[in-house]
Amino acid sequence: MDPATTHASSPGDARTTAPRALATEAVHAGRDDLARHGLHAPPIDLSTTYPPYDSRGEAARLDAFAATGAAMQGPPVYGRLGNPTVARFETALARLEGTEAAVAFASGMAALTAVLLVRAAAGLRHVVAVRPLYGCSDHLLTAGLLGSEVTWTGPAGIADALRPDTGLVLVESPANPTLAELDLRAVAHGCGSVPLLVDNTFATPVLQRPAGQGARLVLHSATKYLGGHGDVMAGVVACDEEFAGRLRRVRFATGGVLHPLAGYLLLRGLATLPVRVRAASANAAELARRLADDPRVTRVHYPRIGGAMVSFEVRGDPHAVVGGVRLITPAVSLGSVDTLIQHPASISHRVVDADDRRGAGVSDRLLRLSAGLEDVEDLWADLDRALGERPAPTRR
């Protein structure tokens, strides 16, 4: 499925059945009903509870939710069951990813935890995963905090790693922080009937839509590009309706709900997602080109599909580079309008065993940069200064 096109037959209140471009869906998905209600901006519903006068009908609706986890029709009941503002964001994200549904959570890790709990409830606690992953995702699996067991393998070894109790295959492409890419169609083929979860945080639906390549589950740390301004924490899983029902039941039971204000900010963030990703990607590509030609840099990682992330290994002290920036922000996270830089071995992947970390290509000299929307010349001037003195040319 072409990432530039999505279909209005996906969830939501679309007023057309014709395919719409991604940029159009980013602006209108989840908002198609507003004009009919005399609104322009989506409303924010902050209620935690809603007054029912038909308690018998309410009981029947709760019974139906308990049985299937289907999104509740009619008036809301309680904030842990669902929220109208959050539902708008879920509808929009599902449309952008080309899935039947999406379920939002309080963070990306809460979203991944819910997926693992759904599979564990079916007696399927074994996970096959490919490194590198985001450090906390790696830690959640390796530490067995949810009673899960993980087998780490390369993409070619997925089929051989499957067991009768395998409930999930987990990959990230481009991967955090090395930006390694996988052939998602080939990975999905190796999974057989086991659900494939693709962490699509770095690519976003602007660059790829894993559901069209065989993934059953698409995970986002919505804190990053979907929000896009460094002011909201959230996670979301785009998937088919049957799995979404299971996720909603886990969310209701565990309470990992997304706040309505966060849902509103995410829906607003989606409207500019294509513009932001493409502009930041142009900056990243230019910085990657200059870094690749710089003698102070030994290796540059930049995905074939593009994107706003660049990783690079330096000859000198990476901590000095982080401490030397003035315009670029030295901070964990990514996907904001401003450019961020961090040292994965010290922060985002510190919880991963050092040998496992290095084995996955996360060297101690690796820096990860999330390009923002500043002028690229200003970014390069700051990075050039932070990299320090250029080595003297070698005399022959």
For residue 358, which phi and psi values (nearest 5 degrees)? Answer: -70, -35
Residue 17: the pLDDT is 56
Beta bridge partners of 341: 330, 369
Nearest to 187 by CA among 205, 175, 204, 202: 175
Is the separation of the CB atoms in 362 and 349 below 8 Å?
A: yes
Count of H helices and E strands in the chain? 14, 14
Nearest to 83 by CA among 207, 266, 356, 269: 266
Residue 357: the pLDDT is 84
Residue type, position 372, single letter: G
Residue 8: the pLDDT is 32
Nearest to 195 by CA among 124, 279, 255: 124
Is the separation of the CB atoms in 6 and 22 below 8 Å?
A: yes
Name the band, by pLDDT with cuts 50, 70 and 90, for residue 18: confident
Question: Which residues does 241 contact at the CB level (< 8 Å), separation at least 6?
Answer: 70, 100, 101
pTM for this prediction:
0.93
Take residue 181 and report the two structure tokens written for it.
């890419």
Rounded Cα distance between 295 and 219, Å, is: 37
Residue 394: the pLDDT is 67
Q: Minimum mean pLDDT among 5-14, 197-206, 309-318, 378-387: which range? A: 5-14
Q: How far apart are the first and last CA of the chain?
A: 55
In this structure, what DSSP letter does residue 56 have?
H
Mean pLDDT of 358-380: 94
Mean pLDDT of 301-321: 97
For residue 50, which phi and psi values (nearest 5 degrees)? Answer: -135, 135
Name the band, by pLDDT with cuts 50, 70 and 90, for residue 359: confident
Residue 62: the pLDDT is 92
Is the separation of the CB atoms in 216 and 197 below 8 Å?
A: yes
Residue percentage of the chain with pLDDT more than 90: 86
Residue type, position 388, single letter: G
Full strand arrangement of the beta sheet holding 297-301? 297-301, 309-314, 366-370, 340-342, 329-330
Is the separation of the CB atoms in 287 and 335 below 8 Å?
A: no
Give the 3-state secondary structure of residue 322. helix
Nearest to 287 by CA among 322, 339, 227, 216: 339
The sign of the dihedral angle between the CA atoms of 265, 266, 268, 272 is: positive
Read off the pLDDT of residues 252-299 as tens digits, 9 standing for 90 and up: 999 999 999 999 999 999 999 999 999 999 999 999 999 999 999 999
Mean pLDDT of 67-90: 94
Residue 59 CB neighbour total at 10 angstroms = 11
Name the band, by pLDDT with cuts 50, 70 and 90, for residue 6: very low
Q: Which residues are catalytic?
A: 80, 134, 199, 224
Mean pLDDT of 341-350: 89
The CA–CA distances, whole Å, from 113 to 13, 67, 254 equal 30, 21, 10
Residue 356: the pLDDT is 81
Helix-helix angle 135-142:108-121, to 10 degrees: 30
The sign of the dihedral angle between the CA atoms of 144, 125, 202, 317 is: positive
Mean pLDDT of 349-356: 83
Mean pLDDT of 183-196: 98
Mean pLDDT of 29-48: 96
